[in-house]
Amino acid sequence: MSSIRSDGPTRFEKELMARLIARRKKLGMTQVELAERTGMTQPNLARYESLSVSPTLSALSRICEALSVDIELDPIGYIGKRILVIGCPGSGKSYFSKKLSKVTGIPRIHIDNLYWNEDKTHISREELLAKYDEVYTLESFLLDGNYISTLENRLQRGVDTVFFLDLPLDACLSGIKQRLGKRKDDLPFVDTAGDSEELIDSVMKFEHETKPLILTSLEKHPEIRLVRFTTRDEVDSYLASLL
């Protein structure tokens, strides 16, 4: 699935795929035969086996069933317990985090709630880093928010998976419009029409200013699983695959 990419397979993926390939060969089954049994194409199966593309949970489930391999494919075991959700303002990070937290049981923490006060003042960068210290003592967490100035710090502390909502400009602008005037649990105050100019400016600058910085940081950490979405349909399809 081209929308979901892993920059460097995880140890879990390597060990699991090695086991599945060994099982296929033991059964004397070719890639073409396995692809037919799973409803995939042989080229896609080959990409999964080589881990040039990260297999989805749905694909792994079908492969395991076809090979009569019994493994635990729970979402936490697949994506890990330390998760970051990043993306352009308005991309739907909070929506995705809420849904993913519900499926996995991993507690979600919104950086906006750590950084902002109810009166729209905020703490310092140093104080925010201190709050990260508390977060990273937890066994599992789903940390939602961009905050590009502290992204590298979060990555260096140890993360299993990063979900990057890399949606088009129009989708993010629509998301900003929908959030204005609504009380949400990811922010200690309500965004109003007076905040819209700053929010829209952040969206407009994201592609050419913020996104390159994000990609540069992610490239430094090939050991971290990266799941990247480019449309809302891809987000919904991924969440559905976890159910």
The stretch 166-181 carries a mean pLDDT of 91
What is the b/e burial string over 65-96, where b = at least 16 CB atoms within 10 angstroms of the residue's CB? ebbeeeeeeebeebbbbbbbbbbbbbbbbbbb
In the beta sheet, which residues pair with residue 159?
none
Assess whether pLDDT exceeds 90 at residue 186. no
pLDDT bucket at 25, cuts 50 / 70 / 90 = very high
Inter-residue contact 93 to 87 (CB < 8 Å): yes
| Close Cβ partners of 99 (under 8 Å, ≥ 6 residues apart) | 239
Quote the tokens at residue 41. Answer: 């194409």
Exposed, middle or buried, 33 (CB in 10 Å: 0-12/13-18/19+)?
middle
| Close Cβ partners of 36 (under 8 Å, ≥ 6 residues apart) | none
Assess whether pLDDT exceeds 60 at residue 1. no
What local confidence, expressed as pLDDT, does residue 191 receive?
Answer: 82
What ranges do the domains of the chain cover?
A: 11-73, 80-241
Inter-residue contact 77 to 12 (CB < 8 Å): yes
Assess whether pLDDT exceeds 50 at residue 203. yes
Assess whether pLDDT exceeds 60 at residue 226. yes
The stretch 74-82 carries a mean pLDDT of 71
Return mean pLDDT, the chain. Answer: 88
pLDDT bucket at 196, cuts 50 / 70 / 90 = confident
Measure Cα distances from 99 to 142, 236, 239, 242 in Å: 11, 10, 7, 10
pLDDT bucket at 75, cuts 50 / 70 / 90 = low
Inter-residue contact 41 to 35 (CB < 8 Å): yes
| pTM passes above 0.85 | no
- Architecture of domain 11-73 in CATH? Orthogonal Bundle (1.10)
Same CATH fold assignment for domains 11-73 and 80-241: no
Point out the least confidently predicted range of 18-22, 118-122, 210-214.
Answer: 18-22
Assess whether pLDDT exceeds 60 at residue 3. no
Quote the CA–CA distance of 133 and 122 in Å, as a whole number. 18
pLDDT bucket at 4, cuts 50 / 70 / 90 = very low
Quote the tokens at residue 16. Answer: 């699991």
| Close Cβ partners of 159 (under 8 Å, ≥ 6 residues apart) | 80, 82, 83, 84, 221, 224
Right CATH number for 80-241 from 3.30.70.270, 3.30.540.10, 3.40.50.300, 3.30.200.100? 3.40.50.300
